[in-house]
Chains A and B, each alone.
Chain A
């Protein structure tokens, strides 16, 4: 059994009749319930629910306060390499794009680490493209060992690994894993991943579960919004998170909802996802899965990010560069995508305090 089996049972559901039939009374009932069903979740994603966004937000705010308090954890990504063998149409690192390719040496990793650690951050997320030749698991393991000297928490957003490999990196000190499915619709998935190992939909879909079985601490999943109708993608994402939460109660599950950003390729988002849509998506997820943490990246603009804090965001990236070596090295590389919030760690820290929330730099330690 894997989430793929669940996906197969819901993939062909026609959500629209359910959306059309959602009444104001349904909405009031849902907003007053403690535990939501999958149907309730679907209704929260309906156009009718747009009218109840404020009420949903009030509830999401209250739930978030209860479970997470007035705190926001800060972290930053560190790009180790941008070599990639895949052809994902939406990404600059796509093997066919002509960009400057780079990979950090272990010493460069330490230099970057020192620069990041000097800002006070204790949580880091390492990223690579998918290239087992230049960035094999052994390279990741060595990088993690070096980074552990500077950071309490090292997360990983790299290509999907085998279960055995997850075990190795977890033993080396990786405590969280981010794997975006990008798009849950299998046909669209096939169309936007033109070639490379990433074409294997199921192998990627099952990656979080392989890590959960190896006792990873936390798992972050999500769709890349813009590749499909967001309402459907959010529904699948919520179902995926619920599945993982239920099957692996000791793993912290969180969700990110990145939107496609300008990059070095020519692909543009097929489906528009505006700010209101994103808020509706976040509110629906929060009400359906109150304990799931929401992460918001610098793909979003400063004001928008700040305004999302009271709505249940518990993790934010800060002081971000999407270039390999972008924190300390003179010659970085081309970036993966354009960021929208260029503020440094200190500025973000103050923005969070201004919202009446506590920026948390350290929320984990290896034990």
Chain B
């Protein structure tokens, strides 16, 4: 399989996982192992460095890249402050930008996200911005120095699958940095679907964390992501916007060229 490179790091696994909704922090290491993930995101507002036994960071295996997210930020300035805080706290220089000022649907604010990305990328952060799947915003994020774009498949936590398929497909075709589908994926089959579409990776939280067995579900996603990627690379899943007629109308032009 081709490898995924984000911020100069080569990743074997195309599954990123979130830690926000687990029944117990203690199962995080087991889920990480079953899912094969190498990137684990967590809300910085939940990290409690003072607490000896309840520090989430202790449960994230050392080989994983930490991806602190700016959940709770309502505008770019707050996201920037959280990112800087994360770096000072020793969480590395990767950051997932989440700027949400709509607490009902939890939809990201693309404009503020671009603004935060620009500031943080200049400061040397590896910025992974969560966004509404809009091509022009994705382009602006690339210009701003984002390491990936992370369009949503459906609103956070809804488990509704990839409802924004057409828009994400366009982003995949047009954007040259990795595209990570984030939010909305509720089943392994939907993760496979994202991968078949050509997404570079998926980020899953709710579906794994709230399953009856998060460990088994982590494994299921691991396999689904691999299967989807394999299908994509085998070029079975690729869809073309233009018809490939079986009897081409311009075929006559080339007839006899090779004969």
Task: Please measure, in the bound complex, the distance between the C-alpha atom of A69 and the C-alpha atom of B54, giving whole angstroms.
Answer: 18
Give residues of chain A (242-280) contacting chain B, Cβ–Cβ below 8 Å: 245-246, 249-253
The interface residues of chain B lying within 8 Å CB-to-CB of A67 are 156-157
Interface: A199 (CB within 8 A):
no
Least CB distance, A251 to chain B, in whole angstroms:
7
B44 at interface by CB-CB < 8 Å? yes
- Interface residue range, chain A: 20 to 34
Which of A65, A71, A122, A291 makes the CB contact (< 8 A) with B104? A291
User: A122 and B206: CB pair below 8 A?
Assistant: no
Given A66-B158, A249-B101, A367-B85, decide whether A356 and B45 contact each other with a Cβ distance below 8 A: no
Partner of A362, one of B46, B102, B104, B209: B46
Contact B23 A70 (CB under 8 A): yes
Whether A358 is near chain B, meaning CB under 8 Å from some CB there, is: yes
Q: In the complex, how many angstroms separate the beta carbon of B60 from the nearest chain A beta carbon?
A: 15
Within 8 A of A (CB), among B42-99: 43-48, 51, 54, 72-74, 78, 81-82, 85
A361 and B25 alpha carbons, distance in the complex (Å): 12
How many chain-B residues does the 8 Å CB contact rule pick out?
A: 35
Of all chain A residues, which has the CB nearest B209?
A: A69
Write the nearest CB–CB distance from A328 to chain B, whole angstroms. Answer: 19
Mark out the residues of chain A between 325 and 367 whose CB falls within 8 Å of any chain B CB in the assembled complex.
353, 356-358, 360-365, 367
Q: Which among B47, B73, B206 is the interface contact of A367 at CB below 8 angstroms?
A: B73
Question: Can you give 30 contacting A-B residue pairs, CB < 8 Å?
Answer: A65-B21, A66-B158, A68-B21, A69-B20, A69-B210, A70-B209, A71-B20, A71-B21, A71-B22, A120-B51, A120-B54, A245-B103, A245-B104, A249-B102, A249-B103, A250-B74, A353-B23, A356-B23, A358-B22, A358-B24, A358-B25, A360-B46, A361-B51, A361-B54, A362-B47, A363-B43, A364-B45, A364-B72, A365-B72, A367-B85
Which residues of chain A (267-305) have a CB below 8 Å from chain B? 291
Q: Given the complex, which residues of B lie within 8 Å of A360, measured CB to CB? A: 46
Within 8 A of B (CB), among A195-253: 245-246, 249-253
Interfacial residues, chain B to chain A (CB-CB below 8 A): 20-25, 43-48, 51, 54, 72-74, 78, 81-82, 85, 101-106, 156-159, 205-206, 209-210
Q: When chains A and B are docked, how far (Å) is the Cα of A367 from the Cα of B105?
A: 23
The answer on a CB contact under 8 Å between A65 and B210 is: yes
Chain A residues within 8 Å of B21, by CB: 65, 68-71
A363–B210 Cα distance when bound, in Å, is 19
Alpha-carbon separation in the docked complex, A252 to B106 (Å): 11
For residue A32, give the distance in angstroms from its CB to the closest CB of chain B. 15
- How many inter-chain contacts with C-beta < 8 Å in the A-B complex? 83
Residues of B contacting A: mostly: loop
Which 10 A-B residue pairings sit nearest by Cβ, starting from the closest? Answer: A69-B21, A70-B23, A362-B48, A66-B157, A65-B210, A250-B101, A249-B102, A367-B81, A67-B157, A356-B23
Do A362 and B45 form a contact, CB below 8 Å, given A245-B104, A249-B101? yes
Indicate whether A367 sits within 8 Å of B24 (C-beta atoms), given known contacts A120-B51, A361-B48, A362-B48: no
A250 / chain B contacts, CB cutoff of 8 Å:
74, 101-103
Which residue of A is nearest B18, CB measured?
A: A69
Write the nearest CB–CB distance from A318 to chain B, whole angstroms.
14
A344 CB to nearest B CB, Å: 16
Given contacts A66-B157, A67-B157, A367-B82, contact A358 B206 (CB under 8 A): no
Flag if A253 contacts B45 (CB, 8 Å): no
Chain B min CB distance to A222 (Å): 18
> Are B159 and A353 in contact, with the CB atoms below 8 A?
no
Contact of A365 among B45, B106, B158, B209 (CB under 8 A): B45
> A249 vs B23: C-alpha distance in the bound complex, in angstroms?
28
Contact A367 B78 (CB under 8 A): yes
